[in-house]
Amino acid sequence: MAQIGLVLGRFHRKEAEEMLAEARDVAARLGLQIAAETWVPGSMETPLAVKRLLRRPEVAGVAALGIIERGETSHGLVMGHAVIKSLIDLQLEFMKPVGVGILGPDIHPSQIPSRVRPYAAAAVEAIATMLTE
């Protein structure tokens, strides 16, 4: 059974808890074991936590879960691009899949509730798919 890690941003704790529940359910359904669940302050800290998990030999892939909400400035948009680019780079560096379940960047608060579970599920499903490709 392949082992995966989960990294969750706690800035939107309520939504992240829902993402965690969905990720656990989907992982179990797909026959993946969760080796670690790591909480970080927000999406900016996600790449470092993902890298730490990818360095573990038993971890076959990591799902990054969180939200980068629309703000009054373009900070979230810039940060979102940097975070996603870092996650792609880590995936290629370690040759292990990184499922991205980060809503946004620039997501409006009204768009969040309906996307929480589908994004978490898609991140875990992406790992499972890439482990068999």
24-82 pLDDT per residue, tens: 999 999 999 999 999 999 999 999 999 999 999 999 999 999 999 887 788 788 889 99
Residue among 12, 75, 81, 108 flagged as catalytic: 75
- Are the C-beta atoms of residues 53 and 102 closer than 8 Å to each other? no
Strand pairing class (59-69; 3-9) = parallel
* Structural domain spans, the chain: 3-132
| Least trusted range by pLDDT, from 60-69, 103-112, 121-130 | 103-112
Dihedral angle over CA of 38, 44, 47, 48, nearest 10: -70
Residues 6+ apart with CB under 8 A from 15: 67, 112, 113, 116
End-to-end Cα spacing for the chain: 16
Residue 81 among the catalytic residues? no
Residues 6+ apart with CB under 8 A from 13: none
For 3-132, CATH number out of 1.10.3720.10, 2.60.40.10, 3.40.50.960, 3.30.750.24 equals 3.40.50.960
66-86 pLDDT per residue, tens: 999 887 788 788 889 999 999
**How does the average pLDDT of the chain come out, rounded?**
95
